[in-house]
Every structure is written in structure tokens, then in C-alpha cells.
Amino acid sequence: MSLDTLARPVAFTGGLLDRADALRQNDDALAAMLAGGRARLLMLDGIEPVLDKGALVWGEIARAQGAQLVFLGLDEEGRGAFAAVPPRERSHVGPPSADLWAAMGSISAGDLATYGLARSLVGWHARHRFCPCCGGATAIAKGGWQRSCIDPDCGAHHFPRTDPVVIMSVEHDGDLLLGRQPRFPARRYSTLAGFVEPGESLEEAVAREIREEAGIAVNEVRFMASQPWPFPSSLMLGCHAKALSRDLTIDETELEDARWFTRAQVAQAMAARERGEDGEAFSAPGKHAVAWHLMDRWLRGV
């Protein structure tokens, strides 16, 4: 599925950095880049972005003050882009802060993609300083795209994780199934979602999550679009499915509520969200969420 079919770019995609995989393998080249003034530091407050007039702020490498650095890639001028690993207590796995939610609408697509990469990568390093195989300390390797156990009897290599999550629009007889979690803002409804479990395909994960959360069976599962989601390190895999019935049995440990909405209700809520307002029937998700794109595609019949 091409992103060209979406109404607008998906947030956290469209990165402008060249990830320069070959440079990750070359410690001498990275060191020379850092020492030779051909590198700059992405300024972060822990794992939150530092912004100036809606743009990321970059500084001199010396401002890292001895922190471990990860190589994000090369910018359009060939300079190395780096970010500093924060202390563990300044890294977290929670959802975006209210300030970041508000800022997402004004940050450029390229800056948002760069920040999403940096947040996921430095957050992973902050939380994975020890080897899960032997419990020993690990050290950054390959420019920050690997951690290696320093115990010579172990020497295990570990890599930044990405957790696959299915998120799906579900339709039945012209209506769309949406649910709300207790942590959602008032009246917010969105598409259902859940983590892919070991040993299942995306299609199986979609069917299982819908059955578990809403108590209905589905078929005709189709992949639609994907989105990196750095809270902390998910890959949202957008899908669409058709329900075989509309009789819901809600798992209240997962959802506060779920219901069917008509096409007119969804269209009105989406139009209201475009204006920064809540809809009459419900409050639609923000445009930076892939759920918004799934709902938009459903309305447009693509």
C-alpha cells in the first residue's frame, strides 16, 4: 500500500536524514566526524524535544557534556546528526506529553521524523544498559545501533527493538466500529489496536484483537498503511477488516466503551477535528495518528 493514497503524510514518516549504515560500522570515521566539527547534536530535554518556533534545535557536540552519543545519520549537508542518551530516570515509556501532543501539529514532517527516530533510539539505550542474557553491563556499538555485553564470557549483541502493533478500522453494513480507552480525552473514540503476539500473522492479530476487545469475528483483513510510533518504540500496522456481525461484547479490562458509528457521524467528527473541534457524536483522533488516516480512507472508499 503506497502512502500516496493517503490524504496527507503520516506523522513520524518522511525523514530527511541519510541513515548511512556503512558509517555505523566505522568507529574511526564517526570519531573523526565528531572531532572535526562535522557533527551536530539534537537538543533534547531528556527524551522530549527542544523547540524554537516549532523547529528542532541543534547545538554543538560539546553540549552533550560527556553523555553517550548515538548516530542518527547524515543531514543534507553531509554533517553527522547525533543525540545524547539521557539518564534512565529521564526516559519513560508513557504516551506523549500534553505539550508534545500540541506541538505535533506545528513541527515539520522532516523534523518530526528525526525526533521520532531520536526518541526511540536514545530511550532504548537509556532503558537497556544491562545484558538480558547475563545481567552484565553493555556498551554502545555501531554508532548506537547496537549494544554489546562487555563480559567476555557472554559478548551478546542486542539491537534497538520495534514492537509491532495492529490498528484497524472495522466496518459492518456501512458503519464503523470505534472504541475508547479510559485514558482517552473525554468523548474520544478511535480505531481498535493491540500488540502482535509471538507466532501470529498480522491478519491473525487483527482478528484476535477484535474478537478479544469487541467479541466479534471478522474477515477480509487488508493492510492499509504503517506508522512508526516512538512511545516508546512501536510500529503501527494499519489494517481494515469486515465484521461478520455487529453484536458487541466489550472486554471492559481493555475498553471503556465501543460502538458503531454511521458514515455521516464519522464524516462530521473528522471535519470537526480538521477545525480543531470535537464532533457531535464523538471526538475523533488527531491527524498525527494513523487511526485518523484509516478513518479518512474509509470515508473516501479507498
Concatenate the DSSP letters of all residues of 156-203 into one string: -EE----EEEEEEEEEETTEEEEEE-TTSPTTB-B-EEEEPPTT--HH
Nearest to 115 by CA among 47, 163, 66: 47
- pLDDT for the residue numbered 2: 44
- Cα 249 versus chain centre, distance: 29
Q: pLDDT under 50 in the chain at which residues? A: 1-4
For the chain, domain boundaries: 3-127, 163-300
Tell me if residue 66 falls in helix, strand or coil: coil
pLDDT digit string (tens) for 164-209?
999 999 999 999 999 999 999 999 999 999 999 999 999 999 999 9
- pLDDT for the residue numbered 7: 54
Distance, in Å, from the CA atom of 126 to the CA atom of 120, rounded to the nearest integer, reads 10
- pLDDT for the residue numbered 254: 94
- Sign of the CA dihedral with 148 first, then 149, 154, and 160 last: negative
CATH fold of the domain at 163-300: Nucleoside Triphosphate Pyrophosphohydrolase (3.90.79)
- pLDDT for the residue numbered 264: 98
- pLDDT for the residue numbered 70: 98
Where would I find the H helices in the chain?
A: 21-24, 27-35, 98-103, 109-127, 202-214, 263-274, 290-300
- pLDDT for the residue numbered 6: 57
- pLDDT for the residue numbered 4: 46
